[in-house]
Amino acid sequence: MSFKKLIMWAAVLALLTAALASVPLTLRAQSANLLQNPGLNLPYDSKGYANGWGHYRVTIPKPDDASALEYSNSADFNAETNPSGKFPQLILEGDAAQHVGLQQDPWIAGLRQTVSVPPGSQVRFCAYSRLYAGNTPFGKEPSVTSLNGRSQVGIFLNGDVNWDNADIVWSGTVNPHDTWVNICVTGGPVGDTGKVTVFTKNDYRGSAAVHLDAWWDQAELVILGAQPTVQPTTQTQPQPQATTPTQPQATAQPLPGGGLVHTVVAGDTLFALSLQYNVPIEQIYSLNGLNAQSLLSIGQQIIIKPGTGTQVPEAQPTAAPVQPTAAPGVATPVQATPQPAETTPQAQATAAAPTQAGEATNMSVLCVFAFEDANADGLRQPEEGPVAGAKFKVVDGQGAQVAEYVSTDDAAPHCIDKLMPGSYSISVQPAPNTTATSDKRWGVPLTGGSTVNINFGSRSGASTSGSTTDNTSSGKPSSGSNVGGIIAGIGGLVLLLAAGVIGAFVIARRRA
């Protein structure tokens, strides 16, 4: 082979190498949603199940006493396509949403999907939920907020299991009547099976109405931060055991005088406790000063059975809250244990903080902060300081803007107080010449007196995708598909390859 031909083929090889090198960069710039059919779009099968998703339904026999509504019947599933065109709000995005519902009888049901995830990963699962409950057709009257559908999402970190597995990590319960709310749960590490199962759940027990409906749309399962490198088998074997402490099997401890008290662990709900200890839910409400809107916090003491001399707290809509810091995309308000009559000065200061910020115990506080995410893991570390120029927008459940804030170099979060309890949406436009490393949208249910912190991470460097910013400004979630990046990379590779072959052919012909 002549020297000139060697030069020619070396040039073609260089072009191919450059093309191949560009493809991984394109893929790394995408946001990888691991779910199949995350938008719950068409087609649906003949039973009303979205393509790619499984389902479950819980049946609890109806008691002889028809007034006892703690049973559940078999819910119906179908595609919400809004055939009349009158109710576009029932589909968040795309051509369909998954509807689950039943007339008259209480029900428990949800969706499930199992996907492959690298062992050792930290993951986050989110999905949007909406409720309607009442005795009139949808659109005639507002949803009856006392009829609670208790929307939740859950994640199992090590395989394919049923919805009632004790090691599923569940989010808090939310009741998004007449509005879409993004509900998230974060967990890890993923076990050595390399499988994660995600769940949605609605629990309408305790309610009866002509319509008891729920909708789900725009689900997302993502790996947080960099994908881990799989370690040798000797190091990965203990990983499945690491999921166990996230949801231990707690039992009630005796109180003086024959009473029982339960310490809350991850995944506990008031209805689950009533079933576990076979006591009426109303008894738990009255003994602990709680109601159907109350949220639980890990470590909270719940009186199951009063003992002699047990002090029962006065009923109140919410207890004094702790101040959680939300993980990226997670905004779950946490309610603290009701405080006894005598508390330490530190506990008194913690309980008083939301009152001073909101100037009323039934008001809520939302704090936002933009930080330089040096390691791009989406989580704020103590040494990661503020970023100026990020634009936050807060919208209430009716779509009205309630606040707008551009971040500064101030090291303290910016807090928006005097917010009425309800559902809010927060969107963020990253600062100029920065790229987001955490979610740019949050759905935040605020309870009375609660304080929720939202931390938004970004890194220096211009964003590689303009479509994400457009989706953020419109308030709609992105589907997170890699298909566009893959097609673009392959297309560029094919063009470069064709150019190289044509060039080689022309040169060969001229030299012939």
List per-block mean pLDDT (blocks of 10 residues) for the chain, which spans 512 residues. 63 57 37 89 93 95 79 95 91 95 95 95 94 93 93 95 92 92 92 96 93 96 64 35 38 66 77 78 80 70 72 44 40 37 37 39 82 82 90 84 93 90 83 86 70 86 41 35 47 57 56 53
pLDDT score at 329: 42
Q: What is the pLDDT of residue 13?
A: 64
Instruction: Provide the residue type at 437 as one letter.
Output: T
Q: What is the structure's pLDDT at 169?
A: 92
Among candidate residues 66, 148, 133, 145, the one with its CA nearest the CA of residue 103:
133
- The residue with tokens 């964003």 is 463
User: At 503, phi and psi to the nearest 5?
Assistant: -60, -40
Please say whether the beta carbons of 175 and 293 come within 8 A: yes
What DSSP string runs through 82-102? -TTSS-GGG-SSSS-EEEEEE
User: Cα–Cα distance between 511 and 494 in angstroms, integer?
Assistant: 26
The whole-angstrom separation of Cα 287 and Cα 294 is 13
* Gap between the Cα atoms of 304 and 270, Å rounded: 10
The amino acid occupying position 231 is Q
pLDDT score of 306: 78
- From the CA atom positions of the chain, what is the Rg in Å? 26
Reported pTM: 0.46
Supply the DSSP symbol for 341. S
pLDDT for the residue numbered 283: 83
Tokens of residue 53, six digits: 């998703």
Q: H helices of 393-482, where?
A: 466-474
Long-range Cβ contact pairs of 137-141 (< 8 A, separation 24 or more): 137/211, 138/87, 138/90, 138/211, 138/213, 139/86, 139/87
Closest CA to 165 of 153, 152, 155, 150: 155
